[in-house]
Every structure is written in structure tokens, then in C-alpha cells.
Structure 1
Amino acid sequence: MNIVVLAGGLSTERDVSFKSGDMVCKALRSLGHRVLLLDVFLGYHDTEEDISDIFEHTEEASVEVSDIPDTAPDIAAVKASRADQSDCFFGPNVIAICRKADVVFMALHGENGENGKVQAAFDLFGIRYTGNGYLSSAIAMDKGISKEFFKSYGVPCPQGFSLSVEEADAPRQPLAYPCVVKPACGGSSIGVSIVHNETEYKKALADAFVWEDQVVIEDYIQGREFSVGVIEGKALPVIEIAPIQGFYDYKNKYAAGSAVETCPADLPADITAQMQRYAEMVVEALGLETYSRMDFLLNEKDQIFCLEANTLPGMTPTSLLPQEAAVIGVDFPALCQQIIDISLKRFEK
């Protein structure tokens, strides 16, 4: 197959996206596919602007990827580096190249990758892509909105509320301290703070509003962190994430050795089964059709809380979904192929 792996963009998770894309690209090439790693925002151009035989020289035309930095990318610098300085989100030749592909593997993370906008555009252009459709992606992306869906299906989640930047001057107070403040649509724990008093709360709001105009404030749940992937409605083994220092923030997510990840998680069978069932219920609640990953906390009373749904889970060397799949005998190339196969079923209806 001729495959575009789409990565990059203007999200705070831009660098993570490239790492996911690079790993997926190499895996699919090992299966014999012709695969191009493409930056959705910077696009592709050469001296002739000829893309007629782009899939004949995919390795030379692909984005070169480096390790994930410890800090989020400078989005202003990325915008300034674009040659045509267009205000169009799709870079030069992106749509044309994607239309030539048999399928686009979505390795995008964060804004304009997981919020359904790219998916909606691709639907209009007749481009087939991996992952979920635009509506379920949009709902899952907003942590405040998705939690309302969780609750309507009986999936427990932390108590809290959403706050807009217009309300920042006279913000609604948390139910209690400590609490968590985070951007409503962000990922990779960027802009997330655990706060213990009003002074920290005001600073956390200011920090979160740097990234977005909408934030979520919720009760802080002290406990163990877990994640559960779901493929075609069936939960994978539960994985536990134990950061060596602090909480599971941006650095701990992507720096090798920063967290201990155990799969299958060391849990009683009934708690494992319940957590997996909650993950499957989230899929039902949000209308997710292909693959996704849900994040959970378990407190000292063995109460389970669902934090969020990820519609395009990370596919980096330290990512959770590939580790879960490996436990049931699905290696990384096979997982990438499976994602393509089940995603293409959406376009056969």
C-alpha cells in the first residue's frame, strides 16, 4: 500500500507526534508498504513541486525525526519557519499527497489532530484515514464535555467544572484543595498543575490559559495511575504507570527511565475487569469506532476514576498502547497493520 503517516502540526504535542510517526513509518515499511512521513503544517515541496512519483522515493522525502525534547515546542517558531507563510493549516501539497495515498495513518496528537477538524476535512476530500471519525474525536478532545458523557454512562470520574478565560478575573473556586487545573483540550500533561491553596490556584489558571481559553478544574485523586487501550470495542490488558518522581507529566511521559510501567498491572482480578469494562463503556459513550486509550486513577479505597479518553494514543517507543498489545502477542508492526485494517472498515459502510 501507499501510506502517508501524518504528523507534526501546531499542537503542543508536535514533537511527540513526530516520534509516533517515525516509529509507525518504520514499522509499516518493514511490512513492505511504501510510507511517507509528512508534516501536516509544513507540508512537502521541492524545486519542481512534482509529487507524481512521491511514493517512489518516500525515504528521501520523509521528515527527519530527532528525540523528543524535555519541553514543549515553540509553535511561533514553527509558524515562522513555513516557507509560504500561508494561514492554511494544511501545508504545501499535503492534501494532494494524501489523496494519492491508499490510507493516511494519523500520528497527529493534540489540537487539530485529535479534535476532529482534520478528520472532517479528510471526509470532505474523500481521504481515508486511521482512527475515529470527526464527531467522536471532537467530543473526546474536550475533557469537560467528555466527562459529562462518562457520567451519563455510569463511568466514575473526578468532580469538577470548566472555566473560560473570560471568567479568569473572578474565577469560580474549587470544591476543595488540593485540586487539579488543566487545559480542557490539551494532552501530554502540558499546562497541568496540582494546587494546594488559592495562591497556587491563581497561578495554575494563568499557566493553563497560556495554552487554551478553556480549562478544567477537578478534585485531586491521590492514587495509582493506569491506562487501558481498547481496539474495536475490546479492552486490552491494564497497564500501570508509576513515575519515579512527581506525577506523570510531559517529561515523565517521554523520557526513558522516568516511569515504571507494568503490564499486566498488579491488580485484583475484579478491579482489572471493572477498569476494562469502564474503558469499554467510554468507547460506547463517545461513539469511538476503532482504537483509543483511557486513563484511570485508583485511590486507596479501590475506587476507580476515569480521567480522559485519547482517540489517537501515542505510538512512541515508551507509549502505553503498544506495550498493552505486546502482552497479548501483537508486536508493533502487527499493531500498526491492525489499526489500518480496522480503520478502513469505516469506509466500507
Structure 2
Amino acid sequence: MNIVVLSGGLSSERDVSFKSGTMVAKALRNRGHKALVLDVFMGFKDKECDIDDIFENSEEYSVKIENIPTDAPDLKAIKASRADKSESFFGPNVIRICQKADIVFMSLHGGDGESGKVQAALDLFGIKYTGNDYLSSAIAMDKQMTKEFFIRAGVPTPAGVSLKKSKRKGFTFDKYPCIVKPNCGGSSIGVTIVESKEELDAALDAAFEWEDEVVIEQFIKGREFSDGVIEGKALPIIEIAPKQGFYDYKNKYAAGSAVETCPAQISRKATEKMQKYAVAAFKALGLTTYARMDFMMDEKENIYCLEANTLPGMTPTSLLPQEAAVIGMNFEDLCEHLIKVSLKKY
């Protein structure tokens, strides 16, 4: 198959997306596919003749990223560096190249790539892609809306409120400790644990740097877990234990900064309950292909679903691939399986 692995974009997870895309493309090439890693924002600016046979030279023309930087990307600088200075999210020739592919493997994380906007655009152009449809993606990307869907489905989730930047003046909050996070962000960028009222303003400043709406929610002290769901079936649960602090951007992507255990060493009762909630959350959001649910569990084994990731990280050491490996599905198998599952939409 000719496959575009769509990566990059203008989200805070741009660099993470390239790492996922690079590893996915390598796995697909090992299975005989022609996989091109394409930056959705920068596009492909070479000559017309190169586009016509681009999949024959897919490895040569692919974006190449070695490692994920320890700091989040400077999106203003990246936007300013695009040669055509266009305001279009899609870079030069992106749609045309995607139309030549048998399927687009969605390796975008966060921002417009995970919010349903790119999915809707690809639908309009008749382009097949991996992952969920535009509507369920949009719902899952909005953390406060996701909470409402969880509550209606009986999935426990931390209590929280949303706050728009325009309504910040005069806002008060009195339940501490709490978590402040961008409403549609990912990779824990802009996330702060707030212990007191005096720390709230700085936390809001950090979150509002990334978007104009934030969520302030109950802080759950305990252990952190994640559980992938593919076609409505839960994978083994993984536990994430940062060696220092919480599971922030640096702890997510700096080698050796967290201990990840799969299957998680928790009671059978807790395992079954968490997997049940993962599937219920998946269905409540209208997801049909694959996603990963994040959880916290306190010392009394009360379980809280934090959010859903509709395009989870895809490197061999990412959480979803680790979970799949426990049931005998290696990384190459998983990449091909996600394509097979996604094609059922069509």
C-alpha cells in the first residue's frame, strides 16, 4: 500500500508527532508498504514530477526526526518559517499527496490533528485515514465536554470546571489541591498542580499560553494508569510511575524518567473495573476504532478516568504499543492492525 504518515502540524505535541510518524513509517516499510512521513503544515515543495512518483522515493522524501526535544516547540517560530507564509493549516501539496495514498496514517497529536478538523477535511476530499471520525475526535479533544459524557455514562471522573480567558477577571476557586490544564492540550504541556490560592494565577498563566480555555479539576492523589481500547475491547492496563514529580512533558519523553509496568500490578477487581470504565468511556464518546484512556486510582482503589486520547503515541515504547505487546502483538503487527480496523469505516 501507498501510505502517508501525516505528522507535525502546529500543536504543542508537534515533535512527539514526528517521532511517532517516523517509527510508524519504519514499521510499515518493514511490512512492504511505501510509507511517506509528511508534515501537514510545512507540506512538500519539490517539483511536480517528484509528487507523481513520491511513493517510489518515500523514505528519501520523508521528514526525519531523531529524538524528541525536552522542551515544547516554539510554534510561532515554526509558523513564521513556512516559505509561502500561508494561513492554511495544510502545507503545499499535502492534500494532493494524500489523495494519491491508499490511506493516511494519522500520526498527529493534539491541536487540529486530533480535534476532528483534519479528519473532517479529509472526509470532504474523499481521503481514507486511520482513527476515529471527526465528531468523536472533536468531543474527546475537549476535556470539559468529555467529562460531561463520562458522567452521563457512569464513568467516574474528577470534578472540574472550565474557564475561558475572557472570563478570568474575578474568577475564584477554593478547592485545593487542584490541577490546571489547557482544555484541549496534550502531553501534559501547560499543566500545573496547584496547592494553594496563591499558586493559581501562575498556573492559569501557564495554561493560557497554549489556548483560551482551561480546566481546573480535582487533584487525585494516587497511582497513574492508562488503558488502550481497540474496537471496543480493552487491552492490558499499564501503570506509569514518574521517578520525580508528575507525568509531565519531560517525564513522558526523557528516557528513563518513568517506570512503566504492563500488565499493571493491581488487584483483579481493580483491573476489571478499570477496563470496564475504559470501554464505557470509549463507547460514550462514540469512538469506534482505537483510543487510550488515562486513569488515576487513589489508595482506596477509587478509579477516575481523566481523558481519552484518540491518536495516542505510536513508538515501540509508547503506552499503547506496550499494552498490545502483552497480548502478543508486536509494533509492526499493531500498525497494520490499526490500518485494518480503520478501513472498516469505509
Q: Which TM-score tier does this pair reach, normalised by the shorter chain?
A: over 0.9
Corresponding residue SS for 2:344: helix
Per mean C-alpha deviation after superposition, the further-off stretch among 164-173 and 191-200 is: 164-173
Equivalent position of 2:97 in the other structure? 97
Equivalent position of 2:199 in the other structure? 200
Alignment of 1:67-216 (within 5 A): 67-174=67-174, 176-216=175-215
Equivalent position of 1:52 in the other structure? 52
Q: Is the 8 A contact 1:131 1:311 kept in 2?
A: yes
Q: Is the 8 A contact 2:316 2:331 kept in 1?
A: no
C-alpha distance in structure 2 between counterparts of 1:341 and 1:172, whole Å: 49
C-alpha distance in structure 1 between counterparts of 2:185 and 2:307, whole Å: 11
Equivalent position of 2:28 in the other structure? 28
Q: Is the 8 A contact 2:316 2:322 kept in 1?
A: no
Alpha-carbon displacement from aligned partner over 1:49-71 (angstroms, at most 9, x marks no partner): 64111111111111111210111
Structure 2 runs not aligned, ≥5 long: none
Alpha-carbon displacement from aligned partner over 1:98-147 (angstroms, at most 9, x marks no partner): 00000000000000111000000000000000000000000000100000
Equivalent position of 1:272 in the other structure? 271
C-alpha distance in structure 2 between counterparts of 1:251 and 1:317, whole Å: 18
Equivalent position of 1:234 in the other structure? 233
C-alpha distance in structure 2 between counterparts of 1:26 and 1:318, whole Å: 14
Q: Which runs of 4+ in 1 moved over 2 A?
A: 47-50
Q: Report how far residue 47 of structure 1 moved.
A: 4.2
Q: Is the 8 A contact 2:239 2:262 kept in 1?
A: yes
Structure 1 length-normalised TM: 0.98
C-alpha distance in structure 1 between counterparts of 2:66 and 2:217, whole Å: 35
Match for 1:189: what amino acid? S
C-alpha distance in structure 2 between counterparts of 1:138 and 1:49, whole Å: 36
Corresponding residue SS for 1:71: coil
C-alpha distance in structure 1 between counterparts of 2:114 and 2:103, whole Å: 17
Alpha-carbon displacement from aligned partner over 1:302-341 (angstroms, at most 9, x marks no partner): 1000000000000124310000000000000000000000
C-alpha distance in structure 1 between counterparts of 2:329 and 2:172, whole Å: 47
C-alpha distance in structure 2 between counterparts of 1:168 and 1:314, whole Å: 33
Match for 1:248: what amino acid? Y
Q: Report how far residue 77 of structure 1 moved.
A: 1.2
Alignment of 1:231-310 (within 5 A): 231-310=230-309
Structure 2 length-normalised TM: 0.99
C-alpha distance in structure 2 between counterparts of 1:11 and 1:187, whole Å: 9
Equivalent position of 1:220 in the other structure? 219
RMSD in angstroms over aligned alpha carbons?
0.8
Q: How many residues align?
A: 346
Match for 1:6: what amino acid? L
Corresponding residue SS for 1:51: helix
Q: Is the 8 A contact 1:8 1:15 kept in 2?
A: yes
Alpha-carbon displacement from aligned partner over 1:179-233 (angstroms, at most 9, x marks no partner): 0000000000000000111120111011111111000001110000000000000
C-alpha distance in structure 2 between counterparts of 1:321 and 1:203, whole Å: 33
Match for 2:286: what amino acid? G
C-alpha distance in structure 2 between counterparts of 1:49 and 1:260, whole Å: 48
Corresponding residue SS for 1:19: helix
Corresponding residue SS for 2:51: coil
Alpha-carbon displacement from aligned partner over 1:35-55 (angstroms, at most 9, x marks no partner): 100000000111456411111
Match for 1:289: what amino acid? T
Q: Is the 8 A contact 1:16 1:316 kept in 2?
A: no
C-alpha distance in structure 1 between counterparts of 2:179 and 2:50, whole Å: 50
C-alpha distance in structure 2 between counterparts of 1:142 and 1:264, whole Å: 29
Match for 2:8: what amino acid? G
Q: Is the 8 A contact 2:4 2:98 kept in 1?
A: yes
Corresponding residue SS for 1:112: helix
Match for 2:333: what amino acid? A
Corresponding residue SS for 1:346: coil
C-alpha distance in structure 2 between counterparts of 1:70 and 1:64, whole Å: 17
Q: Is the 8 A contact 1:254 1:318 kept in 2?
A: no
Per mean C-alpha deviation after superposition, the further-off stretch among 103-112 and 199-208 is: 199-208
Match for 2:230: what amino acid? I
